[in-house]
Amino acid sequence: MANIASSIKRARQAEKRRSLNHSQESRLRTHVKRVLNAVREGDREKAAAAYKSAVPVIDSSVGKGFLHRNTAARRKSRLNAMIKAM
């Protein structure tokens, strides 16, 4: 454990950021998995609905600095392509 006040603060901040990033990553993965599972099942309507709910989550990840905008665009594009290919 750190002894210097600034190091203690940095450790506290790092833990807080790690926790927030972990929850954001989990939320993102959950929504993407819902789309992928619906595509695997072959249920186009369910996949489209899941995609519609996943897009705002992906976009909010960009706004929070969790994802790069190009990464988000690529993920949305690939998910949408999977749905269209059904």
pTM: 0.81
Q: Is residue 32 a contact partner of residue 72, using CB atoms and an 8 Å limit?
A: no
Q: What's the number of CA atoms in the CB half-sphere (13 Å) around residue 75?
A: 22
Round to whole Å and give the CA distance between 27 and 43.
22
Give residue-wise pLDDT tens across range 1-16: 788 999 999 999 999 9
> Tens digit of pLDDT for each residue in 17-73?
999 999 999 999 999 999 999 999 999 999 999 999 999 999 999 999 999 999 999
What three-state secondary structure class fits 83? helix
Listed in sequence order, the residues at least 6 apart from 79 whose beta carbon sits closer than 8 Å to its beta carbon are 32, 35, 36, 51, 54
